[in-house]
Amino acid sequence: MSTPSSNKSTMRDALTKPQGFRFLGLDFDSAIKYFFGGNAFVAVVVLALITIFLFKEGFGFISQNRRNLQVYRQAGLEYVDIMRSRMDAHTKLGRQVNAARLNLFKDLQKQGKSLDEINAMLAPLDEFSGKFSDAAETLRGLVSDYGDAAATIKQSASEIQDRLEEKEMLIDAGKRDQAEKVVVPVIDFPSARKVILDSEPQYAELCGAMRSTLIALINTPNPGYEMIPLEVRSRFKTDTLAFLDYLDQGKSELTAWNPDKPVGYLDGLASFLTHPEWLTASFWQDWYGVIPLFVGSLFVSVIALLLAVPLGVSAAIYVNQIAGNREASYIKPAIEFIAAFPSVVLGFFGVAILGETIRAISGWHFLSWISFFPIAERLNATTAGILLGLMAVPTIFSLAEDAINNVPVHFKEASFALGASKLQTLVKIIIPAALSGIIAAVLLGFGRVIGETMVVLLCAGNRIKIPDFTEGLGAFFQPVHTMTGIIAQEMGEVPSGSIHYRALFMVAILLFLLALGINFLAQRIVRRFKISIG
């Protein structure tokens, strides 16, 4: 019968002298080496395949977007857009008068005037507003007519492109006979555009008439114009004069416009990186500009970090340096347990409870002095940012605590030996020594929140628009859309290989590069941290 000491000896021999073990011709050490090495290799291969797939699908977007912009230019949409931008600017200017009327309406309402009395008192202002709007009516009709003409040309160009793609697909499938039967019409862009380009003299004439009308409206005394408060009226007059300069500038832009100017591949990429609109399935023109999505992602991430960094870092310092063992044994698991919540659960919490609560609080009377309260939307950047911050706390907490743990004990002992108090040691020695690691923790927390999808999809409001920063802090309570959210929302709805499909891959590439940059920066800081305490 074997004794316990002999069993231990046998086990030790099996571990330290595995010369007799063979697997597929490999000894024990080699098998272990190839097992772990093989797993590491698989991880690298999977990452490489994902990266290759991502870039392969995404880079096709640049050529497709180039064609998209080429059609936009050749069909004359770009030309008409020069005129439309002036009409949009005039509409925006008219909103200043409407806003002034609304404020006057509220003031008169507070004075106890009836609706009929208010309307009668504001009638001169309404008349002025109507004249201001009517000044652009004829020009607006002209722009609308030529817009229809340009849209028709674009539709014809799109049909041609569809036929070409159909032909290419048949050829790729080996069906050359069927491909030859596909008739691809030819469009004469210069002739089709002629009706639009001939509008330039008429446009210039109408601009001149509009200028005269607006100048007369803001320079001739009339009761409606004078009802606008002096400060608002002064700004309105300045903006109107700037608009008239913009109107005149449009005539020179139309003259200089060249439909034959080539659209390069860099234009296709630049449009993606700089255009302020993400607009798909539009009757006019599809735009795939990542700016509003990038700003939305950055916006909610900043809000999240404003919450998560103080909470995560402070909790790490307290648990590691101040709390007793028993207290730390409760706090640490509780914080780390937050990471176990499924993001969809937090998203539901944001939709059902948090967003509604924030909106209800914004309606409290004693907060009415805040200019942007009460807020209109319960799903906005702040709602999503708070939940993302909560999700980032465990990441920042764990990594920051590791950084504090890695500060050598003799730093602390030397400080005490010199007579420093516990608080002085913490503030002057421990935190500065761990600062690089804490910064790396914050960066990795940033990477965590900018890549989150479900919460932003449910709670950010999903409005694809750059927040209106003229509202100051009110911009934090506006709905936004994010890069991760747009991929999750639209990827399942777009045809494979379409420009929209490839645009989403370009967004994914941008996210990939962003995450790569954040991790690279964090690693550099961690490396520096190791040196500083070594």
- In whole angstroms, give the CA distance from residue 150 to residue 79: 9
> For the residues 275-283, what does the mean pLDDT come to?
92
pLDDT at 389: 94
| pLDDT value at 69 more than 60 | yes
Side-chain-facing half-sphere of 307: CA atoms under 13 Å: 19
| pLDDT value at 298 more than 50 | yes
On the 0-12 / 13-18 / 19+ scale of CB atoms within 10 A, 90 is: buried
| pLDDT value at 315 more than 80 | yes
pLDDT at 534: 45
Contacts of residue 451, defined as CB under 8 A and 6 or more positions apart, other chains included, come to 484, 511, 515
C-alpha distances out from residue 369 to 140, 362, 374, 475, Å: 40, 11, 10, 17
pLDDT at 14: 55
Question: How does residue 30 score in pLDDT terms, banded at 50, 70 and 90?
Answer: confident
- Three-class DSSP labels, 83-149: HHHHHHHHHHHHHHHHHHHHHHHHHHHHCCCCHHHHHHHCHHHHHHHHHHHHCCHHHHHHHHHHHHH
Q: Tell me if 107 sits within 8 A of 156, measured CB to CB.
A: no
- In whole angstroms, give the CA distance from residue 482 to residue 485: 5
Residue 335 tokens, joined: 């914080």
What does pLDDT average to over the chain? 88
Which residues face 287 on adjacent strands? 279
pLDDT in tens, 134-147: 999 999 999 999 99
- In whole angstroms, give the CA distance from residue 443 to residue 429: 22
With CA atoms as reference, report the closest residue to 479 among 270, 225, 293, 327. Answer: 293
Question: How does residue 1 score in pLDDT terms, banded at 50, 70 and 90?
Answer: very low
- Higher pLDDT pick, 16 / 333: 333
Question: Considering Cα of 400, then 405, then 408, then 411, what sign does the dihedral take?
Answer: positive
Phi, psi (rounded to 5 degrees) for 459: -115, -15
Q: What is the pTM of this model?
A: 0.85
- In whole angstroms, give the CA distance from residue 244 to residue 208: 10
> For the residues 283-290, what does the mean pLDDT come to?
93
